[in-house]
Chain A
Amino acid sequence: MGGHPGGPGIVAVRGAHATMSGEVDVCVVGSGPAGLAAAAAARRAGAGRVVVVDRETSPGGILPQCIHDGFGLEEFGEAFTGPEYAERAAGDAACVGVEFWQGTTALALGPGPELVLVGGSGRQVLRPRTVVVATGCRERTRGNILLPGTRPAGVFTAGTAQRLINVMGVLPGRRAVVMGSGDVGLIVARRLHLEGCEVEGVYEILTRPGGLVRNVVQCLHDHGIPLHLGHTVVEVHGDRRLEGVTVAAVDADGRVRQGTRRRVPCDTLITSLGLIPELEILRGLTDGTVDESMRTGLERVFLCGNAAFVHDTVDCVTACGRLAGRAAARHAAGLRWPRRVARVEAGEGVRQVVPGALSELAEAARFHLRLDVEGFDVEVQARARDRPLARWRLRAVSPTQAVALTAGPARLERLRQDRTLAFVARPGKEEAGGRIHRR
């Protein structure tokens, strides 16, 4: 990190005040890593006035509450903590002249594009040349899965618990059960444990952990926290404060196995049930499908970061933001909005693929996929209806980790031969642990 302590970060950001009006080339909604990268990239690509609006009082999105390390290995070549990464990225954006309108909430987006903002000096309608939506994702809640039982205090999503402990200095409870083994859940289990809240166990409905092996080892094994695979929480108990949960073993279809119900006394339930892209601002305008440069179906509006695809690492989020920012700068400078020439779909063995479209301007593309297969030596194909257009070989894959596939000009030329293409993945050789997961 070297040099002056504090780096270029916060001082520069706080100096970047300006009037919340006037001509804006690129307006980025959200100052998480995607938004910061998009804004900085837009400025570097020649955009005049670039503004980041964010509802929080300081930039970084969710990063300031992720105090663990391991961020930025690809971007910066060292393992930062979340707050460090946020300050580096915000400082970088401020240095190239990005304006920050913190404490500002984007209430609505409309065609034009047009943004309704509230914050700073009041409520106003902004008409920037381009808008980059970088609103991140939110957590699936117990309500989304209709978890039965009472509704006492003491049920938190992992992200909320993380914010409470790491930013607000508040301990959510004294004895916790963690439902779901996504990365945030694992990381929060460790924080709870280290802060003196007993973690009775982590319960994962699937037969494999939802988070990275690294987090299973370092967050659970290191601290003796039990992981119960093939188990889940089936009921919440307690009238005022949580008094316990019922856990049970489940079969492959998620049905409770007879005679395995067990009541676990606890005052806290942490849910780590997955992340959902936050696309509320696009509702009624367009869906979350983007093309190779993160253009949405709404003219001059881009979508990037976890709002477009729930990435595994902040480095991927940053790269995704940069892509959107560069394109936004070009369109702010007058580049014509392109037609979409191909649709990209998820086929056999592939759960999700982004981008979901290719534009007529596409010269290269980076595809992000979630697969349903695991093992070594896996082949992924992009297929037209009847024939493969391109192939990639992957050394090791798992459904819990996204893969990124690059298509350079030559490959992309082939991909554009058909109006619809589907990505399919075949499990690797069985002796190498290859298998396909059915949902």
Chain B
Amino acid sequence: MIIGAGVVGCAIARELSRYQAKVCVLERESDLGCGQTGANNGVVHPGIDPPPGTLKARLNVAGNAAFPRLCRELGVPFRRTGLLAVVTDPEEAMLLPLSKLRAEANGVKAEVVEGEDLRRLEPALGPGAYGALWAPDAGITCPFRLTQALARTAARNGVVFELETEVAGMLVGRGRVRGVRTTRGDYLARWVVNCAGVDADLVAGMAGPPEFTIHPRKGEIVVFDRGGPAVGRVLGVLSLKGDPHSKGGGINPAVDGNLLVGPGAREVADRRDTAVSADGIRKVLDKFTRLVPALARATPIAAFAGLRAATYREDFIVRPSAHMDNLLHVAGIQSPGLAASPAIAAMALGQLADMGFSAPSRPDAVVAPPPRLFRELDPAEQTQAAAADPGHRRVVCRCETVTESDVVAALRDPVPATTLEAVKRRTRAGMGRCQGAFCGPRVATLIARERGIPLWEVTRAGPGSWLYAGPTRR
């Protein structure tokens, strides 16, 4: 039993689906990856930041190394862009060799670049960039597509995904978790993996005295339209003045061509507080426009905020519960959790084995990459797809070139999208410059048709998020 269908929960589900075991994933939201995964900038960090010797450092480096193969196998976009951690103040130049030492201690390739070399690596950098640590192993991926591909593969191998199912308590007895009480009934389980993200401490608390606490740390990310400054690398800032609790975000290209700026970082009290604040936006834009001055003329198309699940020790927790023999915590997975996710999943499986889990491997295990989107096809393939399928001739989202068949495929997925947001995460319909002004009603119409419900019962992101009040004429 896995609690939480973020990228970590889905990666573990996928690993478990290689075995002949009954696996179920419980998710509170109506789609995969609605928490930290959904508010992620898609950077696959190289591992230059975590303090050497930490679990975070080890899993980050191992996870990063696993990414190219994983993404190829799952049909998920991944590009090694490399990362430049930039120093803007000459007085802080001594950070460069120090960071290089830390990177090397973590086993990460890194070198200090300055002047012409720096400009050659990233022509978009402004005059303020003094020097940088260059880590060629950094990359970018699409966190949604990765999570979806992992879940889809797991589901094809028999894993059950229970969405809109919130954990309300643990059924415990004699030092073991017997099952999980949810808003949709009780589930019995022999092993439970807690991947509940920002709420992982609350879930842990349902099984016994507190073992750790999570402090939500909020950050805003601003999305810029394609056609803005051509930034080819992941850019970060190295500074003594930064927040010591976070790498403090940066500027990075997304695999789909947008530019993402942020996130910043500040502690918040409310675990649901994903409101974007004017102050937060201003801070990230001020900070990073100094790095790439052309940003000042770029067009923002959206801003969102996410919560990172930080613990006091600032390290990942992948260990059995102190109180329950069959409960595994996978918690405190903040950045670079995406990069680390493949290694976290492998480690979680090792831990489960230590806790007594064993099952024969599944000989017929399949890999089920999501169907390729029309946009991702080359011209000849597009011609073929459009000839074969009328649904590929109807473009639903023009900004991102998403066809009706792309949307329908997401709605018929083994872990089906059921809401506007879910379709958006899987197809990008509505993520473009018009932010769904054009495609929103069209996608909603397709959802209604596929699910056999009236248009006004379609939601944005699950119960309570109704889109329309009703028909104007009954």
Contacts and interface: CB of A to CB of B under 8 A. Distances in A.
Direct contact between the two chains A and B in their complex (CB within 8 A): yes
Interface of A: 55, 103, 105, 107, 116, 118-124, 138-139, 141-144, 146, 148-154, 156-157, 159-160, 163-165, 168-174, 195, 197, 234-237, 239-241, 267, 280, 283-284
A120 B392 CA distance: 11
Interface string B448-468: 000000011001111111111
B272 A239 contact: yes
Contacts of A152: 460, 465
A119 B227 CA distance: 26
A141 B301 contact: yes
A172 B300 contact: no
A235 to B, nearest CB: 8
Contacts of A143: 223, 300-303, 435
A195 B299 CA distance: 35
Contacts of B69: none
A153 B467 contact: yes
A269 to B, nearest CB: 13
B382 A240 contact: no
Interface in B365-399: 379, 382-383, 385-387, 392-395, 398-399
B293 to A, nearest CB: 19
Interface stretch (B2-10, B11-19, B156-164, B436-444): B436-444
21 contacts: A105-B398, A118-B403, A120-B393, A122-B386, A123-B386, A124-B383, A142-B435, A143-B300, A143-B301, A146-B276, A152-B465, A156-B440, A160-B438, A169-B471, A170-B471, A171-B471, A172-B468, A240-B462, A240-B465, A241-B465, A283-B227
Given A146-B222, A148-B275, A165 B382 contact: no
A148 B284 CA distance: 14
B465 A160 contact: no
Interface residues of B, number: 57
A147 B374 CA distance: 32
Nearest to A151: B304
Nearest to B460: A153
Contacts of A121: 387
B455 A153 contact: no
Given A118-B393, A122-B393, A171-B472, A148 B276 contact: yes
Contacts of B469: 170-174, 197, 267
B81 interface: no
Contacts of A195: 472
B246 interface: no
B441 A160 contact: yes
B189 interface: no
A140 to B, nearest CB: 10
A146 B468 contact: no
Nearest to A135: B398
A55 B399 CA distance: 13
A153 B398 contact: no
Contact of A168 (B276, B401, B455): B455
Nearest to A160: B437
B461 A141 contact: no
A153 B299 contact: no
Contacts of A240: 460-465
B470 interface: yes
Given A143-B435, A144-B300, A160-B437, A153 B465 contact: yes
Contacts of B300: 143-144, 146
B441 A168 contact: yes
Nearest to A236: B275
A154 B222 CA distance: 21
A122 to B, nearest CB: 4
Contacts of A142: 435
Contacts of A120: 393
B274 interface: yes
A236 B275 CA distance: 8
Given A123-B385, A143-B223, 7 more contacts: A105-B395, A120-B393, A152-B460, A153-B466, A160-B437, A169-B471, A280-B399
A120 to B, nearest CB: 7
B281 A148 contact: yes
Contacts of A107: 395, 401
A178 to B, nearest CB: 15
B394 A119 contact: yes
Given A153-B466, A170-B455, A240-B462, A118 B281 contact: no
Given A118-B386, A123-B386, A144-B299, A160 B440 contact: yes
Contacts of B272: 239
B361 interface: no
B468 A170 contact: yes
Nearest to A139: B437
Q: Ordered nearest first, which 9 A-B pairs have the shortest CB separation?
A: A153-B460, A240-B464, A143-B302, A240-B465, A123-B386, A105-B395, A122-B386, A122-B387, A153-B465
A203 B300 CA distance: 22
A103 B382 CA distance: 17
B358 interface: no
A13 B217 CA distance: 58
A123 B383 contact: yes
A172 B469 CA distance: 5
Contact of A165 (B398, B460, B472): B472
Contacts of A154: 467
B240 interface: no
B473 interface: yes
B434 to A, nearest CB: 5
A154 B278 CA distance: 20
B181 interface: no
A241 B466 contact: yes
Contacts of B304: 151
A144 B434 CA distance: 9
B183 interface: no
A169 B472 contact: yes
A187 B471 CA distance: 19
A370 B464 CA distance: 44
A243 to B, nearest CB: 10
B455 A119 contact: no
Given A123-B383, A153-B461, A240-B464, A138 B437 contact: yes
Nearest to A152: B465
Contacts of A146: 222, 276, 278, 281, 300, 303
Contacts of A138: 433-434, 437-438
A122 B385 CA distance: 8
A138 B439 CA distance: 12
Interface in B280-330: 281, 299-304
Contact of B278 (A141, A160, A164, A234): A234
B277 interface: yes
A321 B144 CA distance: 42
B468 A164 contact: yes
Contacts of A164: 441, 468
Contacts of B222: 146
A190 B426 CA distance: 36
Contacts of A157: 437
Most chain A CB within a 10 A radius of its CB, from B222, B459, B464:
B464
B276 A149 contact: yes
B387 to A, nearest CB: 4
